[in-house]
Every structure is written in C-alpha cells, then in structure tokens.
Structure 1
Amino acid sequence: MRQSSAILTIDTRGQGLLEVTDRVEIWQRAQGADTGLLTIFCRHTSASLLIQENAAPEVRGDIERYFARLAPESNAYAHDDEGPDDMPAHLRTALTQVQLTIPVMHGDLALGTWQGIYLFEHRRLPHRRQLALHLLGE
C-alpha cells in the first residue's frame, strides 16, 4: 500500500461552481495506483466541494441560485469582517462539505457517467484556493 499527497491550487473567478475533475484526475493518474481511495480536502471556510452533474450547465446555475436564496447576503449578520458576502459564504460552506472521498478502480476515479468534482466558491471576488489531495492505494 502506498500513499501520495499534494496541494492543488485553484484560482477561482468569483462565486460559482468551478469544475476541477480534470485537474484532480491528472494528478491521481500520475500516482499510478490501480485501486485505492482518494480524499480531497478544501482548506478554506468560504469555499466547499461538491460532486455534481457535469453535463447540463443549468444544474450549476440552479444550485448557485438555490444557495443564494438559502444564505443570502445581508447586513443582518454580526460577522461581516470582509463584507456582506463573508458570513453567507461561511453558511454555504457549512451546508455543503469540505471533503470528498472517491474510490479509485482500475486506475480511474469511480465517478458516475455524469458526475464531476466541483470547487464551490462562495465569495464574490476571485480567490486562490487550495485543495489537499491524499491517495491511499496500490
């Protein structure tokens, strides 16, 4: 059994879902594991991770609008150190996840046909985000 780890740096364009499947797969395949388990961890409190539909762009837009309604920007939050999108970003992260675990089978991520890995940026401005990757496999 071998272990590999790395930090994947992602530059976002601001709020929204950014597909990172290709970047994760390139790293995962380079590790040479035929079977294993990949963990992806987002090192931030105002961005998160999702596995979601990667064929119809309407899905991403619907998800983004849903979270904007669920945790709207408002002056009502006590925590607004970085502006009105600060606390809603934390709430959206709390409602999603910062870690994904994906099996590796026959050298590939065991994602379904229409599944993609997304970094969900919850802040309005572009940010540089880090994803910690850890692969345990053989």
Structure 2
Amino acid sequence: MSSIISVRTRGHSVTEITPQVENEVAKSGMDKGLVHLFIQHTSASLTIQENADPDVTHDLISWLDQTVPESGPYRHTAEGPDDMPAHIKSMITNTSLIIPFANGQLLTGTWQGIFVLEHRRADHQRRIVVTLMNEA
C-alpha cells in the first residue's frame, strides 16, 4: 500500500513529518509491519533525529553548511549557488527510511522524530512516498 504525503518546506530548514507518517499508518488499519519513506527529490532528504530540542536540528543544518559550503568549486551552478551543495547534502544524508510499527504505532524512540531536510534556500513543496508493508 503506497501513498504520497506533500510537505511544504520553509527553505533551508528542517520540517518534522512524524504526525503525517503516523496518520498514514493509522489510516492503513495495519497492526504491524514496516513503513518505507522515499523523498522524490535530489535537493532534499530525510532523517530520524531528536525532536525535543530545536538546537539539535539547528546544529545539524550548521554542520551540513560548514561541511558542504555554497562557495565550493562546483561546475553545476545553473540553478544558483545553493543547488549543487543541496545535491551533495542529499547524497550524504538519506533519501529513504524504514521504520517498524506495531499496534498501529511507529516504533520510534522517545525523542525520535522524522524530518525533511530542505537543502535549498527557497520554499518547496516536497513529495514523500509512504509505502506500508504488513507483517504476515
């Protein structure tokens, strides 16, 4: 069973999508299995990270920006100086995640949340394919 959730990002940011994923699991009526998430973009990515302290996601963005600066010697600049760094950031993070669920609930840890990492400066509408696999 697959569906698509659409997420509006606020440019170069981290957006939590845990509630939307939980909703997809609840709507499925499945008791236990796996949820696979796949982002259909090359300049944004997915992560599971702490959702209690916003300093964590701020520090993650800062680290990615220092590790992959816009000022790099990039050949691909047709879409602006943030485009090639966004592709690299997407490559070194995740474009898909697999999360178990049981009793209709995600089995994430106490402080874990699911996030879209927006690597571009502009706002975007991002699409995430949600595929639920029932445990037989």
Q: Look up the match of 1:33.
A: 30
Work out whether 1:121 is the aligned partner of 2:103: no
**1:69 match: secondary structure:** helix
**1:48 match: secondary structure:** strand
Per-residue Cα deviation, 1:76-100 (whole angstroms, up to 9, x for no partner): 2100110000000001001101000
Per-residue Cα deviation, 1:22-61 (whole angstroms, up to 9, x for no partner): 1111111110111111000000000000000000010011
- The residue type paired with residue 114 of structure 2 is I
Work out whether 1:50 is the aligned partner of 2:61: no
**2:52 match: secondary structure:** coil
Q: Look up the match of 2:109.
A: 112
- The residue type paired with residue 58 of structure 1 is D
- The residue type paired with residue 19 of structure 2 is D
Q: When the two structures are superposed, what TM-score results if normalisation uses the length of structure 2? A: 0.96
Matched residues in 1 for 2:24 and 2:131: separation? Answer: 10
Matched residues in 2 for 1:33 and 1:104: separation? Answer: 9
Of residues 81, 86, 93, the one that matches 2:90 is 93
**1:119 match: secondary structure:** strand
* Structure 1: unaligned runs, 5 residues or longer: none
Amino-acid identity (%): 46
Matched residues in 2 for 1:41 and 1:53: separation? Answer: 20
- The residue type paired with residue 59 of structure 1 is V
Matched residues in 2 for 1:33 and 1:81: separation? Answer: 45
Q: Look up the match of 2:69.
A: 72
Q: CA deviation at 1:75?
A: 5.8
Per-residue Cα deviation, 1:102-132 (whole angstroms, up to 9, x for no partner): 0011210110000000000000000111000
Give the aligned length. Answer: 135
Q: When the two structures are superposed, what TM-score results if normalisation uses the length of structure 1? A: 0.95
- The residue type paired with residue 86 of structure 2 is A
